Amino acid sequence: MSRLLLLVVVTHPGDAAGAEAGGADRLLVVAEPGEDELVPTPATVAALRTETSLPLVAALKANEGWSTSGSELTRLTGAAYELASAGAAEFVLGFLGPTLEVDVGATLALVNSLGGLAWSFGRAVDQTLDHDRAWAVMRDLHGGHGLHRFLTAGSARGLQAGMDDLCQRAAANPETAALAVAAGGLMPEQVPWLVQAGIRGFHLGRVARPGGSWRAYVDASHVRAWRRLVDDEGSRRGEAGV
């Protein structure tokens, strides 16, 4: 049985050692500390590539909102090529249109430029007005366009607000739940309920750092504690990972 996914946010080559030693499965590389997870520089990805053997997942998000434009998509397409050349193996992306629905056209325009590399949809899912529709779109993108995972808290306000909704949706649709990565202020006491509902991926941001500070490097003991918690819950409930 594969273990459940632990995706750890990194911003600096100094984060790599702690994340890998602690048992992370993949590293989500972003430009700046915080919740927006903007596109990193190729230099950061290249430096991380020399520090770890873990797959690097690069964010493809150029602004603090969830919409994009033709000129921005052109820049992101160029960035994706440079990031892949620097060592990124996967990407996180995804956009919303003016009516706060998933902008499938813009998303696939960028996906089609990735040369077949794996991709996941970011937390734009939580910003949609119709979450039922958004989850249905995730299923469609998985089946027809290679979506690997999607990040979600069940609410734009994070897991503290969206936990119940996320668990209900996951339990009601195991196929879609298998694609979901719980993200947005994850707390240890939430893990058993999320695993029970069918969630198989977990996103660690500031909780992987001493004092929850973005100024501190990812700490192996912090990640290891989450690894143990997630693995224990997965084993207890017989969940297969990604």
Q: Decide if pLDDT at 156 tops 60.
A: yes
Look at residue 106 and tell me whether its pLDDT is greater than 80: yes
Q: How confident is the model at residue 37 (pLDDT cuts 50, 70, 90)?
A: confident
Give the model's pLDDT for residue 236: 86
CB 95 within 8 A of CB 127: no
φ, ψ dihedrals at 184, nearest 5°: 115, 65
Total number of domains in the chain: 1
**pTM for this structure?**
0.95
- 195, 3 Cβ separation under 8 angstroms: no
C-alpha torsion 77→83→88→90, nearest 10: -10
In this predicted structure, what is the pLDDT of residue 238? 72
Task: Please tell me whether residue 72 adopts helix, strand or coil conformation.
Answer: helix
How distant is the alpha carbon of residue 93 from its chain centre? 9
114 lies in a domain? Answer: yes
The answer as to whether 242 is a domain residue is no
Residue 116: inside a domain, yes or no?
A: yes
State the average pLDDT for the chain.
95
Looking at residue 33, what is its pLDDT?
72
- pLDDT recorded at residue 114: 96
**pLDDT by residue (tens digit) across 173-216?**
999 999 999 999 999 999 999 999 999 999 999 999 999 999 99
Task: List, for residues 39-64, the tens digit of each pLDDT value.
Answer: 999 999 999 999 999 999 999 999 98
What CA–CA distance (Å, rounded) separates 15 from 52?
A: 10
Please report the pLDDT score of residue 1 as a whole number. Answer: 43
DSSP label of 182: E
Residue 242 has pLDDT above 60, yes or no: no
CATH of the domain at 170: 3.20.20.380
Asked if residue 221 is part of any domain, the answer here is: yes
Q: Which domain holds residue 16?
A: 5-237
Mean per-residue pLDDT for 207-232? 97
